[in-house]
């Protein structure tokens, strides 16, 4: 009986913790966006910043908002042609450390392939790069909104 009460108490505490970490129930979508912060993070010297190439003729482009995530900032350029997403380029990426840079270098090509296949941001996050995946998706959604892409 004592074990049962301990188990029930631990289950209730665990459930409460999970609910507190994931926010309030009833919000739609799998990604919950936090409020933008006003603090500026400065990457360590030597952290590369990437730039996006120009679009070709007959294509529409937009750069998504600069997304601040726990390990840096990211912005993605989206290229649309004939009502299809045909190109994704990281317009800006600044990471706080070399590990975050390596993680982004690993995750971004996977995410790019997923977005091109899905023709939208309804994709799975890359395991181990959840914050990077969310920042990538939010920036793309911002660019798609500018282009009025459905």
Would you list the DSSP string of 51-114?
-PPPP-TT-EEEE---EEETTEEEEEEEEEETTEEEEEEEEEEEESSHHHHHHHHHHHHHHHHH
Per the model's pLDDT, the better-predicted residue between 84 and 6 turns out to be 84
Distance CA 19, CA 14 (A): 9
Owner of token pair 């919000």: 27
Read off the pLDDT of each residue in 6-35 and give the average, rounded to a whole number.
Answer: 48
Residue 149: predicted pLDDT: 84
Tens digit of each residue's pLDDT (9 = 90 or more) over 5-20: 675 566 666 655 554 5
- Judged against a pLDDT cut of 50, whether residue 46 lies above it is answered with no
pLDDT digits (tens, 9 = 90+) for 107-129: 999 999 999 999 999 999 999 99
Query: What are the chain's domains?
Result: 60-147 (3.90.1010.20)
Nearest to 74, CA basis, from 53, 43, 44: 43
Mean pLDDT of the chain: 76
| pLDDT at position 2 over 60 | yes
């Amino acid at each position: 009986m004592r074990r049962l009460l301990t188990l029930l108490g631990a289950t209730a505490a665990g459930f409460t913790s999970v609910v507190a970490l994931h926010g309030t129930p009833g919000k739609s979508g799998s990604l919950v966006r936090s409020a933008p912060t006003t603090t500026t993070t400065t990457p360590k010297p030597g952290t590369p910043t990437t730039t996006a190439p120009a679009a070709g003729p007959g294509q529409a482009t937009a750069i998504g908002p600069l997304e601040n995530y726990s390990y840096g900032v990211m912005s993605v350029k989206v290229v649309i042609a004939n009502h299809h997403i045909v190109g994704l380029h990281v317009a800006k990426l600044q990471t706080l450390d070399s590990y975050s840079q390596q993680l982004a270098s690993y995750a971004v090509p996977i995410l790019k392939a997923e977005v091109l296949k899905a023709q939208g941001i309804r994709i799975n996050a890359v395991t181990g790069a959840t914050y990077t995946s969310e920042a990538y998706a939010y920036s793309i959604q911002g660019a798609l909104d500018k282009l009025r892409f459905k």
